[in-house]
Structure 1
């Protein structure tokens, strides 16, 4: 039973989709480690810096002279979708960051760890970025997350201080392009393909169908 999920940490919609996937898995009641689970990566803004000086909201305010109310209205859809999913996202306070290091760590974990540990790592990175407004391009921030997620920090440090898994991230991006898809989140769950944020109910149905196909 195979699930492919393409994502980038810079996307609030990927965070919402990832959370709904986890909730759907809990509802179905299947052990993630019994699935062929592939967390795929797609970098939305490869030219972004690792050390931005301004938050996303500060950049927009500086560039367009937006008021606080206008800034709120610009991101209201994201805030409301997150709230409906049971999440708190303050998109204006996030840093427009380069996510390559975080994505490389994700591919390392996907390659070497059980599904549940990789899912824990992904969730911790999303929380650090969207809830705590941390710089997830920082080695120190990422290593703390790795440690908190129960992964080996010394192995993670070797990944961060090299270019290892960069080619894997790029391969994931190429694989998505070969499907004529150019945005994330994107799901492949058996015969179910979905671009965007599916409902929890759609994910439950897709997972149940995948289990049924495997059983037959």
Structure 2
């Protein structure tokens, strides 16, 4: 089974949703002998974000959603707990929001190499760099270090990061999302079945079974926790 999903490395629900989906699959006997391939598609929450963080997450939340600092802190902690519930060392409060284009370009490079295991390892490391280690994902030295640790060739990675290679592929992913009516992430396409947002585990399980049975070929109208260019669903 192939699962294609649109995501951004700075999206908390993307990290939570993908991890939850993997956990659900791991616990489903129906997938004991099923090979599952994850393919990530790029979706930048803010293509115009800078290369350095300009403020802390709590202040940014309060300003973006028009809520108090206390409310922002409570919301961030709630989201962090959702991540911890999935086994992630989730530290959303101290994330450093920057541009993610280079992280997505690096992912495209990894995918072109054709080693799915290494690509999965890279995507997980990039999520963790942002939400656990609280690094700036626009830092090319950081991206180089992560890629090399994952097993990619340093010279090849540096050549990619020092160029604009794979930029167009990232943009094409985002245009494809728009054509499909995907305006917030995560969005998982499982066979022909679309699962929107970081849905509850039981809902994910149901969607996986429907996909296996090929019961649906349309996007499900139900939407879980997502983030888009205008922000995340925090209610």
TM over 0.5: yes
TM-score normalised by the shorter chain: which range applies?
0.7 to 0.9
SS across alignment from 1:44:
coil
- Kindly indicate whether the alpha-carbon contact (under 8 Å) linking 1:190 and 1:206 is maintained by their aligned counterparts in 2: no
Aligned to 2:142: 141
Greater helix percent: which structure? 1
Q: How does 1:44-59 map to 2 (within 5 A)?
A: 44-57=45-58, 59=60
Q: Say if 2:27 is the partner of 1:24.
A: no
SS across alignment from 1:39:
strand
Write the deviation string for residues 150-187 of structure 1: whole angstroms up to 9, x where unpaired.
22222111111111111111111111110111011000
* C-alpha RMSD of matched pairs (Å): 2.6
Greater relative CO, 1 or 2 (CA 8 Å, sep 6+) = 1
Aligned to 2:199: 198
Counting matched residue pairs gives 210
SS across alignment from 1:6:
strand
Q: List runs of 5+ in structure 1 lacking aligned partners.
A: none
| Distance verdict in 2 for CA 1:72–1:13, change over 3 Å | same
CA distance in structure 1 between the aligned counterparts of 2:17 and 2:67, rounded to whole angstroms = 32
| Distance verdict in 2 for CA 1:155–1:207, change over 3 Å | farther
- Kindly indicate whether the alpha-carbon contact (under 8 Å) linking 1:124 and 1:145 is maintained by their aligned counterparts in 2: yes
TM (normalized to structure 2)? 0.78
CA distance in structure 1 between the aligned counterparts of 2:33 and 2:137, rounded to whole angstroms = 31
SS across alignment from 1:176:
helix
Aligned to 2:10: 10
| Distance verdict in 2 for CA 1:86–1:185, change over 3 Å | same
Q: How does 1:67-78 map to 2 (within 5 A)?
A: 67=69, 69-78=70-79
- Kindly indicate whether the alpha-carbon contact (under 8 Å) linking 1:71 and 1:92 is maintained by their aligned counterparts in 2: no
TM (normalized to structure 1)? 0.85
Q: List runs of 5+ in structure 2 lacking aligned partners.
A: 215-235
- Kindly indicate whether the alpha-carbon contact (under 8 Å) linking 2:122 and 2:146 is maintained by their aligned counterparts in 1: yes
